[in-house]
Chain A
Amino acid sequence: MLVLLLILLPVVFVLFNLLLDEKQAKNISLAGSLTTLVAGLYAFYQFSIHPSCSCFVYHTDWIRGLGADFYIKADGINIILVLLTVLLVPFIIQSAHGREIKNPKSYFSLILIMQSALLGVFLAKDALLFYVFWELALIPIYLICLIFGGDGRQRITFKFFIFTLFGSLFMLLAIIFLWLHNPLRTFSIYDFYKVSLLLTAQQQLFVFMAFYLAFAIKIPIFPLHTWQPDTYVNAPTQGTMLLSGIMLKMGAFALIIWLIPIVPLGWQLASKYVILLSVISVVYGSLMALTQHNFKRMLAYSSLGHVGLIAAGIFSWNLQGVQGALYQMLSHGINVVALFFICDIIFNRMKTDTMQKLGGIRNVSRIFSVLFLIALLGSVAMPLTNGFVGEFLLIHGVFQYNTVMAVFAGLTVILGALYMLRAYQHMMHGETNILTETFGEITLNEKVLLLCFAGLIIFFGIFPNTILHVSEEPVKQLIEQVHNATTMTVKHSNF
């Protein structure tokens, strides 16, 4: 029941939002997300003590004729993503404090609906339910970007929508295909894991590609990323945070749970190419970030590089790679939301985020420059920050798969340091100019939020085991399962 509560809580607060006054919308939503945070933290704590508690499963009939169930369950893998979601949404909502928003009631309600759908995506264990949540998450973010975004948003958000919908429709085809080959005629993920034994390698490859299309567009991976930079830059700050902090984790998460274990042979056939694409997106994203003058756009491309590395780690499919991917999803979520918040603070005061026009902000606001530096170091994977743990494990994982790939994937750290420090130099160091003199001190709210981010970044950098030990067993099991499936068929074909 606890897991059902997690999904329902935000929706309940949406109803409060609709009934109560417009001015209260932000506070009610914040209260909603904080309540969910408490529930989520409690769930995480409970899970680390006794993971087999029945409160982590909710299973009931949904569409009997199809064998689709309303089946949600927390396990060692998705609980991390749940933690990420409940942790970030309060920050995202509070980051809008003091900013002018046209229609707060619908804005914050959409954020809460989004949260509910995201939690649904992570928790669902029934393929049809997963698909429904997956699409449901798209509508609120689309509306957030469409109604509250910047100039030219119609075209940009539409491109984003069509791209993601195009991918999801192929995922739907793959899900139906699996269902038709499932003798039990259910959508349960555990039954889908068994279906793979009945499929030929060719069929698995087909399913793999259909799923990959959907997930790779969402993550995004080169060359399907073209919707991403424009959408990030154009969306309102909170929309960008939701997109980069949580939503793109949907794709990476789905790779671990819904792709590789379901079609192990498909993965085996395609892994070379998909890792190559991921590494290309690492290098491409980092190089593109180097050439940007606009801070927000630079963050968008850097995000492309980081998630490329996550995908590469997952596709290398070993303990370090997958564990690192899970950890990095959490860290990257925190870091990128912090950085986009910093970008919003700067833009809100300076009305520009072109890095060359800024400079010397350090002289105006010391505390801001320190907190910015911490978030930045997290992003460039400095030891003792959360980014280090994740990227280290990821590169270690890719290294085990292929050394050359790992060398190129490692570029993300070097190039990341390059473009991030360069950006920091441009904006914070140097002489103050006429523009930046007006920067002033940051507000208490901004200070508190950034301090929290800094605390999280360092906490997860020093105590990675709080997270890693939770996911270790289930990840081992999944890897074992895929390993068995692939070696079994090899023996079979030799025979």
Chain B
Amino acid sequence: MKELLLLSGLGILSLIAEILNVRKLIYLLVISGLFLNIGLCLHDLGNNELVYGMLKLDNTSLAFTILFSFVAILWFTMAKSFFTDETNLSDHFSLVLFSLVGVFILTSYTHLSMLFLGVEILSIPVYVLAGSDKRNIYSNEAAFKYFLLGAFASGFLLLGITFIYGAIGSFNILQISASSIVSTGLSQKLLAVGFVLILFAFAFKMSAVPFHFWAPDVYSGAPTVITAYMSTIVKIGAVAGFFRLFVVAVSSYSKFDFYSGYTGILLLIAILTITVGNVIAASQSNVKRLLAYSSIGHAGFIILGVAMLSPSTNYVVWYYLLAYSLSSLASFWVLLVVSQNDNSEDISIFNGLVKRNPVLAGTMTIALLSMAGIPPLAGFFAKYFVLLNVLEKGYILIAVIAILSSLIGVYYYFRIIIAMFTGIEETKTGIKISGFDKLVLMLISVILLFVGLAPDFIFGLIFR
């Protein structure tokens, strides 16, 4: 409860910051509020607090909350310029914070109405933010496309919820799970359709193939900071929401006829997402689009991790999200700095970056290596844990496909690395970044290395 109040309080505070005349302070307040949020979560671990039967703050949901708060802090550090250009400062803040509330609800809901609310609270601010570069026609297109298709997906979600209610007569996922034991008078068909519809809605939010068509346009149209936000925090929210529904509710129907069909669809989505995302990314020359497609590929790996339901799934998914969000954020950060400097997003802007700014090039290299899954960085272990579960279930073919796709990933990530180290730069001027930014970027690299070397330490901290 405290976390929810804190996040919404911060959102409301930044909305009225103009009136209270504390605009200057708001940045600091938000960052410290997010730190406080992490502290609260760590304190609440193990309490299993129930909030009016609507939310349940169990350890998994708190772990996801800690993760997205941490990523949000880094994101705010990265997006400083987005908030300091003097226009619409406070509504940018409050939009982001409200969408964080949505993510929080998604990580901890027990009631399907909260699921819907969470998705909407998360999405609506992001629709606005995607269009926040008002004079850029592509930004407008992104917002419009995202909104239109997002609304469509919300329709699926609502329809799915209704079907489930029709089958079971309850919105509570714990009760839905319990109904699998006493299944008299249960309409399996209604339930199956309901679950599949919700899966489609989430597949849209996670930008999974074949519901991914909006992603590249929206990602490349939106301002880079918002793209980073969408590909990290929004994705954490969507995955956490789906994870909860799948683990708590859907998986308790594993003995029913429709379950194998459902997991079949899920696996198909995962495999398609991994291969299509990586294959298309390999042919991109716009780095922002490349990262967008690569994030689709990573979504596939995460879905695969969720689908391999095992006792360790929550670790696996959480760890993957941690590794992925940090490296993705770092790479978007570097892209942001470099593209602002050169006014382009083509891969050629990375030529010879190592001479123009070694810290940017170093961080980008580590982030890309991590996303490519090279040990001992976090990204390797993330993929490794997923593959371990896949092989444990005996899906050798899926493991081979996933491995070959990540080899394609190596190809396009290395194009950027090669450009940075050997390309001949078009503009010889160095790129300046502040000492603090430099520090945070190096911190992210160190975390990526450390999380890879000592995953046990992180697990011990969060999943006590």
A interface residue numbers (CB < 8 A to B): 61-66, 131-132, 135-136, 138-139, 143, 146-147, 153-154, 158, 161-162, 165-166, 169-170, 172-173, 176-177, 179-180
In contact, B388 and A173 (Cβ under 8 angstroms):
no
Across-interface contacts of A62 in B (CB, < 8 A): 454, 456
A424 to B410, CA, bound (A): 42
In contact, A132 and B312 (Cβ under 8 angstroms):
no
A179 to B391, CA, bound (A): 10
In contact, B315 and A65 (Cβ under 8 angstroms):
yes
In contact, A158 and B399 (Cβ under 8 angstroms):
no
In contact, B411 and A131 (Cβ under 8 angstroms):
no
Residue-wise, chain B 382-395 has the 8 Å CB interface mask toward A (1 for contact) of 00100110011000
A173 to B383, CA, bound (A): 12
Q: What's the least CB distance linking B271 to chain A, in Å?
A: 17
B interface residue numbers (CB < 8 A to A): 312, 315, 354, 369, 374-376, 380, 384, 387-388, 391-392, 399-400, 403, 406-407, 410-411, 414, 417-418, 421-422, 454-456, 459
Across-interface contacts of A176 in B (CB, < 8 A): 387-388, 391
Q: What's the least CB distance linking A214 to chain B, in Å?
A: 13
In contact, A146 and B421 (Cβ under 8 angstroms):
yes
In contact, B422 and A153 (Cβ under 8 angstroms):
yes
A64 to B380, CA, bound (A): 17
Q: What's the least CB distance linking B282 to chain A, in Å?
A: 12
In contact, A162 and B392 (Cβ under 8 angstroms):
no
Across-interface contacts of B403 in A (CB, < 8 A): 169-170, 172-173
Across-interface contacts of B418 in A (CB, < 8 A): 146, 154, 158
In contact, A132 and B376 (Cβ under 8 angstroms):
yes
Select one of B315, B354, B391, B414 contacting A173, CB under 8 A.
B391
25 residue pairs from A and B, CB less than 8 Å apart: A61-B456, A65-B312, A65-B456, A66-B388, A132-B380, A135-B374, A135-B376, A136-B375, A139-B374, A143-B421, A146-B422, A147-B421, A147-B422, A153-B422, A154-B422, A162-B407, A162-B410, A166-B407, A169-B406, A170-B403, A172-B384, A172-B387, A173-B391, A173-B400, A173-B403
Across-interface contacts of B399 in A (CB, < 8 A): 173
Select one of B354, B391, B456 contacting A63, CB under 8 A.
B456
Select one of B369, B384, B421 contacting A139, CB under 8 A.
B369
A15 to B375, CA, bound (A): 21
Select one of A63, A138, A173, A180 contacting B455, CB under 8 A.
A63
Across-interface contacts of A154 in B (CB, < 8 A): 418, 422
A7 to B374, CA, bound (A): 20
Which single residue of chain B is at the shortest CB-CB distance from A146? B421
In contact, B391 and A177 (Cβ under 8 angstroms):
yes
Across-interface contacts of B392 in A (CB, < 8 A): 180
A66 to B456, CA, bound (A): 10
Across-interface contacts of A65 in B (CB, < 8 A): 312, 315, 456, 459
Q: What's the least CB distance linking B117 to chain A, in Å?
A: 35
Across-interface contacts of B387 in A (CB, < 8 A): 172-173, 176
Q: What's the least CB distance linking B450 to chain A, in Å?
A: 13
A400 to B354, CA, bound (A): 55
Across-interface contacts of A170 in B (CB, < 8 A): 403
Q: Known contacts A135-B374, A162-B411, A180-B392; can you find 19 more A-B pairs with CB under 8 A?
A: A62-B456, A65-B315, A65-B456, A131-B375, A132-B375, A135-B375, A136-B376, A138-B374, A143-B421, A146-B422, A147-B354, A147-B421, A147-B422, A169-B406, A173-B391, A173-B400, A176-B388, A176-B391, A179-B388
A166 to B422, CA, bound (A): 23
- Nearest first, the 6 A-B pairs at minimum CB distance are A132-B375, A135-B375, A132-B376, A169-B403, A154-B418, A176-B391
Q: What's the least CB distance linking B439 to chain A, in Å?
A: 15
Across-interface contacts of A173 in B (CB, < 8 A): 387, 391, 399-400, 403
Across-interface contacts of A138 in B (CB, < 8 A): 374
A162 to B403, CA, bound (A): 13
Q: What's the least CB distance linking B400 to chain A, in Å?
A: 7
Q: What's the least CB distance linking A309 to chain B, in Å?
A: 31
Across-interface contacts of B456 in A (CB, < 8 A): 61-65
Across-interface contacts of A147 in B (CB, < 8 A): 354, 421-422
Q: What's the least CB distance linking A378 to chain B, in Å?
A: 36
Which single residue of chain A is at the shortest CB-CB distance from B391? A176
Across-interface contacts of A162 in B (CB, < 8 A): 407, 410-411
Across-interface contacts of A146 in B (CB, < 8 A): 417-418, 421-422
Q: What's the least CB distance linking A53 to chain B, in Å?
A: 27
A138 to B414, CA, bound (A): 14
A135 to B403, CA, bound (A): 15
Q: What's the least CB distance linking A41 to chain B, in Å?
A: 28
Which single residue of chain A is at the shortest CB-CB distance from B376? A132
Across-interface contacts of A177 in B (CB, < 8 A): 391
Across-interface contacts of B380 in A (CB, < 8 A): 132, 135
Q: What's the least CB distance linking B443 to chain A, in Å?
A: 16
A461 to B315, CA, bound (A): 55
A170 to B417, CA, bound (A): 24
Please indicate which of the listed interface residues A161, A170, A172 has the most CB atoms of chain B within 10 Å of its own CB: A172
Which single residue of chain B is at the shortest CB-CB distance from A134? B375
Which single residue of chain B is at the shortest CB-CB distance from A143? B421
Q: What's the least CB distance linking A436 to chain B, in Å?
A: 33
In contact, A165 and B375 (Cβ under 8 angstroms):
no
A261 to B455, CA, bound (A): 30
Q: What's the least CB distance linking A252 to chain B, in Å?
A: 22
A65 to B459, CA, bound (A): 9
In contact, A158 and B384 (Cβ under 8 angstroms):
no
Which single residue of chain B is at the shortest CB-CB distance from A138? B374
Q: What's the least CB distance linking B388 to chain A, in Å?
A: 6
A162 to B418, CA, bound (A): 13
Q: What's the least CB distance linking A202 to chain B, in Å?
A: 14
Q: What's the least CB distance linking A239 to chain B, in Å?
A: 14
A133 to B294, CA, bound (A): 26
Across-interface contacts of B384 in A (CB, < 8 A): 172
Which single residue of chain B is at the shortest CB-CB distance from A62? B456
In contact, A161 and B375 (Cβ under 8 angstroms):
no
A131 to B375, CA, bound (A): 8
A180 to B399, CA, bound (A): 14
A161 to B375, CA, bound (A): 14
Given the contacts A132-B375, A139-B369, A165 and B407 also touching, CB distance less than 8 Å: yes
Across-interface contacts of B421 in A (CB, < 8 A): 143, 146-147
Please indicate which of the listed interface residues A66, A136, A180 has the most CB atoms of chain B within 10 Å of its own CB: A66
Please indicate which of the listed interface residues A65, A170, A177, A179 has the most CB atoms of chain B within 10 Å of its own CB: A65
Q: What's the least CB distance linking A351 to chain B, in Å?
A: 22
Across-interface contacts of B455 in A (CB, < 8 A): 63
In contact, B414 and A158 (Cβ under 8 angstroms):
yes
Across-interface contacts of B374 in A (CB, < 8 A): 135, 138-139, 165
Which single residue of chain A is at the shortest CB-CB distance from B404? A169
A158 to B372, CA, bound (A): 14
Across-interface contacts of A143 in B (CB, < 8 A): 421
In contact, B410 and A165 (Cβ under 8 angstroms):
yes
Q: What's the least CB distance linking B181 to chain A, in Å?
A: 30
A131 to B376, CA, bound (A): 9
Given the contacts A146-B418, A176-B387, A176-B391, A169 and B407 also touching, CB distance less than 8 Å: yes
A180 to B392, CA, bound (A): 7
Q: What's the least CB distance linking B194 to chain A, in Å?
A: 34
Q: What's the least CB distance linking B354 to chain A, in Å?
A: 8
Q: What's the least CB distance linking B36 to chain A, in Å?
A: 30
A337 to B384, CA, bound (A): 36
Q: What's the least CB distance linking B278 to chain A, in Å?
A: 14
A132 to B453, CA, bound (A): 9
In contact, A180 and B391 (Cβ under 8 angstroms):
yes
Across-interface contacts of B315 in A (CB, < 8 A): 65
A172 to B403, CA, bound (A): 10
A169 to B407, CA, bound (A): 9
Across-interface contacts of B369 in A (CB, < 8 A): 139
Across-interface contacts of B400 in A (CB, < 8 A): 173
Q: What's the least CB distance linking A206 to chain B, in Å?
A: 10
Which single residue of chain A is at the shortest CB-CB distance from B312? A65
A135 to B452, CA, bound (A): 13
A421 to B285, CA, bound (A): 51
Across-interface contacts of A179 in B (CB, < 8 A): 388
